[in-house]
Amino acid sequence: MLKKIVLYSGFVILFLWWIYRKMYHPDETGIYKVKTEEIISYDTIVGPAEGTALPAESFTSWKKFAKGGTSSIAILVTDTNSSWLALAHGLKSIGVPFLITQNYKAALKHQIVMVYPELSGKYLRQDALKLIAQHPLNGGVLMATGTPSDGLKEVFGYTESKASIQRYEIRFNRKAKENEYLKAESGWMIRLGNKERGVDPIATNTYYNVKNEPIAYYEDNTPAVIVKPYAIGRSYLIGFDLGYFLQRSYSNTRYTISPLGEGKFEPSSDVLLSLIKNIYLTQCTTAVVLGTVPHNKQMSLILTHNINTKQELLHAVKVAAQERRGGFTSSFFVQAKYINDYNGEAYLRPYLTDILKLLVGWNMEVGTQGVSANNRFANNSVGKGIEKYPDYTPFVQSEKKTYNATLMGETRVAKYLLEKLLGNYEMKSFRAPDHQIPRSMPQLLQANSFAYSSSITSDKVLSHLPYRLNYNYDISQEVETFEFPVTIDDDQGIKSLQSSISATIDMAYSIANYGGMMVLSLRPDTSVKMQFQQQLVDAVKEFAWIGSLGNFADWWSARDQVEFSRTMDTIEVNIPVRAKGITLQLPPGERMYNYEPADLPIDQYGNSLLIYDYRGKAKIYITRNK
């Protein structure tokens, strides 16, 4: 009897396994065949018809950044096989004018010169080193990183140096004038690695017998950043590769240096860039920098929402209506879900897509997270670039298993379908699901005409500012897409919104100290989340620009193209793409007394010049207050 039961049970198990294989497993080719009834189909929509190819890998030339006046920082690049591009992107983000050159004589015509990555005989002749060494003696400012040639120690005011790969922190000296910009308590210390998380620090150098008070120390109390004042000029030496620090941060898609985790204030990259900005503003007699926030506000609050379910799509109307009443716009990253799977019911049906049309009609932005928004996104293959709706059928079988998904399919098909459903709409923004970021994502986004990404989190890149992405997150080639790091994400970092609002408001004030950005990502599914957002908006609306990622990113893209330079009494600015609220910042004690053209829409507020709405060239005349 027992044998019969076992035999019968075996047949039942085999039969059930056979049914399971037929229903939930792919065929012999490894392709899962999704049943027709599981797919929402639009008979009139098929495409995209044209294929998509990734841009070819090449090199961004330093000559792209070779243009600028003598009021800008001259970066003398001694080795092009370095992280100079990340340094350039960082300075563009913080608004400091610069140009890049390999001609030391041209560099020395500028008041401030930064030699990067090395000031040594390995890259420069002795006659060049001698002239560069005289720059601070002649009233200029000289900046360098690492350990210069032995003959230049006196130029920077030390006698010996020592390299290490065991220094994890930098602590800024509260007495140093260069650190007056550091207002937030957490900005006084930055991290180079994290021993507890197994993240190795970058290589560092320290200096001995330093003649002047250092600007910053390592955790072992040895100098990390030193300064030597001259009669008029100054020299600065940074004990690590600043460009590499930024490159490692901007390209960090995996590990987290911060012990605080997501949703916390971690501005290490911004602090270092702000140090350069402060040196420039205080030491350059013709300084002018580009503001980082529209309309001379102190910070930007970007409102975004992820939509992955039918219920969230229905709630989006209420959320958008509340934001509209407050006079704000926001972004909705919509999963183009047209297949029933493990994650739930497909919802891109005609009566529900009318909601998306309503959002667009209210000037809300619609972006996407892809078709399947699977949490294995970073591991999906690139695909062939010919994926199209409705033939592209990614199927999420379980939390750990997804079939048929490709990166090309997720991006190009989602964009195409949503644009078709919305009519005459251009989708610009993408968010990687679950912050799963493949190395190929920068070029993937460019290939599919996504100008903006808000995928990585600020605790990974140690920044609360946008920046331009590089091909494969490598050092040598930029792409056209900008990244806007997520600060607060209810999926990852907030366990109790009601208890975290006070800390979030404090973080907003810290970010406002240097014109940073807070990207809020909240699902439109509970009243608690919307109450949290409203409390934050109410707390910062007097000093913050508030709106959608698309609106802010369009402004940022226009800002990125602004060119400006200055002589002692004249600022020349070119705004090639019409922009509202471009701001120029002056050193304290300077004021505008005239401008051209006469109808230039401009006003001065404190040290800031606000250009309201303009496209074209202009001249602004400056004098010092008596």
Where residue 27 falls among pLDDT bands split at 50, 70, 90?
A: very low
Q: Which residues contact 210 (CB under 8 A, 6 or more apart)?
A: 157, 158, 223, 226
Last residue of a domain, one of 290, 321, 340: 290
Q: Strand, helix or coil at 366? A: strand
Task: Kindly report, residue by residue over 560-606, the tens digit of the pLDDT.
Answer: 999 999 999 999 999 999 999 999 999 999 999 999 999 999 999 99
Which domain does 619 fall in, by range?
561-624
Quick one: 579 and 502 in the same domain? no
- CATH of residue 610's domain is 2.60.40
Mean pLDDT confidence for 506-513: 94
pLDDT higher than threshold 90 for residue 326:
yes
pLDDT of residue 198: 84
What percent of the chain has a predicted confidence (pLDDT) above 70? 92
Nearest Cα residue to 536 out of 486, 571, 501, 511: 501
Cα dist from 18 to 15, 129, 270, 344, 529, whole Å: 5, 77, 57, 24, 45
Where residue 493 falls among pLDDT bands split at 50, 70, 90?
A: very low
The encoded tokens of residue 180 equal: 């007056």
Which range is least confidently modeled, 101-115, 169-183, 294-308, 321-335? 169-183
Which range is least confidently modeled, 17-21, 448-452, 555-559? 17-21
Where residue 179 falls among pLDDT bands split at 50, 70, 90?
A: confident
How far apart, in whole angstroms, are the C-alpha atoms of residue 394 and residue 373? 9
Residue 10 belongs to a domain: no
Residue, of 324 and 177, whose pLDDT is higher: 324
What percent of the chain has a predicted confidence (pLDDT) above 90? 82
pLDDT higher than threshold 90 for residue 11:
no
pLDDT higher than threshold 50 for residue 427:
yes
Quick one: 595 and 549 in the same domain? no
Q: What is the DSSP string of 158-202?
A: -SEEEEES---EEEE-TT-GGGTT--SGGGGEEES-BTTTTBPPP
pLDDT of residue 26: 52
| CB-based contact 93:276 (threshold 8 Å) | no
214: preceding bond cis by omega (within 30 degrees): no
Core vs surface per residue 144-181: b (16+ CB within 10 A) or e: bbbbbbeebbebbbbeebeeeeebbbbebbeebebbeb
Residue 14 belongs to a domain: no
Quick one: 568 and 543 in the same domain? no
| CB-based contact 492:502 (threshold 8 Å) | no
**Average pLDDT of every residue of the chain:** 92
Domain count of the fold of the chain: 3
pLDDT of residue 186: 58
How far apart, in whole angstroms, are the C-alpha atoms of residue 111 and residue 73? 7
Where residue 500 falls among pLDDT bands split at 50, 70, 90?
A: confident
pLDDT higher than threshold 70 for residue 402:
yes
pLDDT of residue 187: 67
pLDDT of residue 266: 83
Q: Which secondary structure element, helix H or strand E, spans residue 623, and what is its range?
A: strand 608-624
How far apart, in whole angstroms, are the C-alpha atoms of residue 394 and residue 403? 6
pLDDT higher than threshold 70 for residue 353:
yes
Residue at token pair 């608690």: 528
Where residue 95 falls among pLDDT bands split at 50, 70, 90?
A: very high
Where residue 499 falls among pLDDT bands split at 50, 70, 90?
A: low
Q: Strand, helix or coil at 59? A: coil
Which range is least confidently modeled, 29-33, 149-153, 454-458, 613-617? 29-33
pLDDT higher than threshold 90 for residue 532:
yes
| CB-based contact 114:73 (threshold 8 Å) | yes
pLDDT of residue 62: 98
Q: 127: alpha, beta or left, given left = phi > 0 and alpha = psi -120 to 50? A: alpha
Residue 447 belongs to a domain: yes
Cα dist from 36 to 22, 40, 152, 337, 339, whole Å: 15, 8, 73, 15, 9
Quick one: 315 and 397 in the same domain? yes
The encoded tokens of residue 98 equal: 């610069």
Where residue 498 falls among pLDDT bands split at 50, 70, 90?
A: low
Residue 52 belongs to a domain: no
Quick one: 246 and 146 in the same domain? yes
Task: Kindly report, residue by residue over 135-158, the tens digit of the pLDDT.
Answer: 999 999 999 999 999 899 999 999
Quick one: 171 and 183 in the same domain? yes
Quick one: 244 and 357 in the same domain? no
Last residue of a domain, one of 242, 265, 290: 290
How far apart, in whole angstroms, are the C-alpha atoms of residue 357 and residue 36? 26
How far apart, in whole angstroms, are the C-alpha atoms of residue 365 and residue 235? 47
pLDDT of residue 181: 74
pLDDT of residue 265: 84
Mean pLDDT confidence for 74-100: 98
Q: Strand, helix or coil at 271? A: helix
Q: Which secondary structure element, helix H or strand E, spans residue 89, and what is its range?
A: helix 84-94
pLDDT of residue 143: 99
Quick one: 513 and 572 in the same domain? no
Residue 496 belongs to a domain: yes
pLDDT higher than threshold 60 for residue 21:
no
Task: Kindly report, residue by residue over 267-299, the tens digit of the pLDDT.
Answer: 999 999 999 999 999 999 999 999 999 999 999
- CATH of residue 368's domain is 3.20.20.370
Q: Which secondary structure element, helix H or strand E, spans residue 505, and what is its range?
A: helix 497-512
Residue 13 belongs to a domain: no
Cα dist from 53 to 50, 386, 412, 444, whole Å: 10, 9, 11, 9
Residue 18 belongs to a domain: no
Burial of 308 (0-12, 13-18, 19+ CB in 10 A): buried
Quick one: 441 and 588 in the same domain? no
Residue, of 4 and 196, whose pLDDT is higher: 196
Residue 35 belongs to a domain: no
Mean pLDDT confidence for 489-511: 78
Task: Kindly report, residue by residue over 195-254, the tens digit of the pLDDT.
Answer: 888 889 999 999 999 999 999 999 999 999 999 999 999 999 999 999 999 999 999 877
pLDDT of residue 14: 54
Last residue of a domain, one of 556, 578, 601: 556
pLDDT higher than threshold 50 for residue 484:
yes
Quick one: 566 and 508 in the same domain? no
Quick one: 381 and 423 in the same domain? yes
pLDDT of residue 256: 73
Quick one: 466 and 542 in the same domain? yes
Which range is least confidently modeled, 111-120, 344-353, 609-618? 344-353
pLDDT higher than threshold 90 for residue 111:
yes
